[in-house]
Structure 1
Amino acid sequence: MNRNLATATAQRRSNGAEWIGGEPSVLVFDVNETLIDFESMNPLFEKIFGDKRVMREWLGHLIMYSMTVTLSGLYEGYFTLGQGLLKMVGDIHGVRVSDADIEEIRQAMLTMPAHPDVEEGLSRMKDAGFRLVTLTNSPSNPGGQSPLEHAGLAHFFERQFTIETVRAYKPAQQVYHLVAQELDVPPSSCFMVAAHVWDTVGAQSAGYTAGLVTRPGNAPLPVASLPQPNLIAPDLPALAGQLIQVWRS
């Protein structure tokens, strides 16, 4: 066990929470940004808004308002919420967002490519004997390919979980508990893999361990009173190496 993980485990035990942070058998992957590349939509936002940076603005609103909906005790589907926010961002920038624009972005969200490092990382983790599943805020796509299927990644995963089942967005604890219950494992056997600290904090608060993938624009949150990722890596192959070193060597 590496020093950081040993220290975190000791701290949890000193607080009387020995059930948290066991050896993971299930790796639970966030999808958006962690596995698939949202930056691929930059040219589309450049065309509609005249500035590719609006994609990040819209995505930030989508994350914030999905949390707002859940905290308010409400629920609305991810695509419907995203479409409304496109029009809101259009109003902010004085740009009329047409129905055709919205449909083009919806299709783009279903067909984003994987990050180039993902397949290698997933292969190493699967070969090391970890179970792999996904947990995403994005909805399923009845009658069509899921984003993972389109990106050629679906075959790595035994299950694809979405928040639709519990009608609450991450980082609500019931979302993470859903996965553990459906797989019939304790939360302490689950290890969240995400590119966002809000996702790792949510998962760890529900009893998971977690690894942060520091995709561009993401970094650890150095606040001592909050859960810190057990592992931190710049990409999936590097995270796979750490997982294997800590729990498979």
Structure 2
Amino acid sequence: MSSPQFDALVFDVLGTLVDEPAGIRAGIRRLDPALDDAEVERLLALWQRHVEEAQGQMLDGSRPYLPSDALDLETAALVAEAAEVKSADAVRELAFAARTPPPWPDTVEGLELLAGRFPLIGLSNASRTALLDLNAHAGLRWHQALSAEDATAYKPDAAVYRLAVTVSGAPPERLLMVAAHAWDLRGAQALGLRTAYVARPVGDPPATSDRFDLYADGLADLAAQLSR
């Protein structure tokens, strides 16, 4: 069956195009080079758990919205305290590490390939400031990069996906949301966007009940499927 045609591709960034845990892990190692691997992973899990819980509280309205750069600083302070590091400069450096994760090996070439055929829209939970650093550090090519900060919300809130619909000027069914997180794709699906799951080591795999339009091993595979 031939793939549907789309007016634009909408990409998640964190985890889908960049290895977010690797960036934070590197920041934790710089925070205290004496930490062993087990302790680094414990602190990484603490970071991830706090961010997930805080964003969940913002989504359910039990906590006021805070953009990701401010949340990263809050989380870095928590992790530094757990590591018994008291330097304010070290906390700021750790927070910045969340903005400089490495791209996946196929990201830059894959975006370049797809950009020749489709308008590409980045749609990230990262704040405007963080997204600028992410794009620059990872060498991400966009025709438009949108931050969830513009919706004062986090994905999977519908207001975030609506940003891409508004900017594209296209109906939701003419947009393809690309992500390594099934929860992200479900959020886009609820607003009527088409969906493509791209497998990544740090993503959220689909459940057996999920029905996405495309499933790809990477960006080259996605491009090949879209060219059929």
Give TM-score, length-normalised by structure 2: 0.84
Corresponding residue for 1:138?
126
Indicate the residue corresponding to 1:44 in structure 2. Answer: 27
SS in 1 for 2:215: strand
- Tell me whether 1:35 sits opposite 2:17 in the alignment: yes
* Residue 113 of structure 2 is aligned to residue 87 of structure 1: no
1:212 aligned onto 2:197: yes
**Matches of 1:30 and 1:125, distance apart in 2:** 15
Task: Return the offset for 1:59.
Answer: 2.4
Aligned residue for 1:152? Answer: 139
Q: Which amino acid aligns with 1:196?
A: H
Say if 1:79 and 1:106, in contact at 8 Å, map to a contact too: yes
Question: CA 1:23 to 1:67, structure 2 compared with 1: closer, same or farther past 3 Å?
Answer: farther
CA contact (8 A) 2:72 2:98 kept: no
Q: Where does 1:117-132 land on structure 2 (aligned, <5 Å)?
A: 117-127=106-116, 129-132=117-120
Amino acid at match of 2:17: L
Q: Distance in 2 between matches of 1:215 and 1:200?
A: 14
Q: CA RMSD, aligned part only?
A: 2.5
Are residues 113 and 171 of structure 1, via their aligned partners in 2, closer, same or farther at CA, if it must alter by over 3 Å? same
Flag structure 2 segments of 5+ consecutive residues without an equivalent. Answer: none
Shift, 1:219, TM fit: 4.8
Separation of aligned partners in 2, 1:178 and 1:241: 27
SS in 2 for 1:76: coil
1:146 aligns to what SS in structure 2?
Answer: helix
1:242 matched to 2:200: no
The list of structure 1 runs, each at least 4 consecutive aligned residues, that deviate by more than 4 angstroms after superposition, is: none
CA distance in 2 between counterparts of 1:64 and 1:213 reads 25
| Distance (whole Å) between structure 2 residues aligned to residue 183 and residue 152 of structure 1 | 22
Give yes or no for the alignment of 1:178 onto 2:178: no
Provide the C-alpha distance between the structure 2 equivalents of 1:170 and 1:191, rounded to a whole number of angstroms: 16
Is the 8 Å Cα contact of residues 16 and 203 (structure 2) preserved in structure 1? no
Contact 1:24-1:190 at 8 Å conserved across structures: yes
Distance apart, 1:95 and its partner CA = 3.2
Aligned to 2:8: 26
1:195-225 deviation line (CA, Å, top 9, x unaligned): 111111111111111112221133533242x
The equivalent of 1:200 in structure 2 is: 185
Aligned residue for 1:216, secondary structure, equals coil
Gap regions ≥5 residues in structure 1: 6-21
Query: Residue 202 of structure 1 aligns to which amino acid in structure 2?
Result: G
| CA displacement, residues 2-21 of structure 1 (integer Å, 9 cap, x when unaligned) | 6xx8xxxxxxxxxxxxxxxx
**Contact 1:121–1:238 (CA under 8 A) maintained in structure 2:** no
User: Residue 80 of structure 1: CA displacement?
Assistant: 1.5
Instruction: Single out whichever of 59-68 and 130-139 deviates more from structure 2.
Output: 59-68
- Output one character per residue of 1:84-134: Cα deviation in whole Å (capped at 9) or x when no partner: 23333455x46345322221123323333321111221122123x211010
In structure 2, the CA distance between the partners of 1:235 and 1:60, relative to structure 1 (3 Å rule), is: farther
Give the equivalent residue in structure 2 for 1:14: none
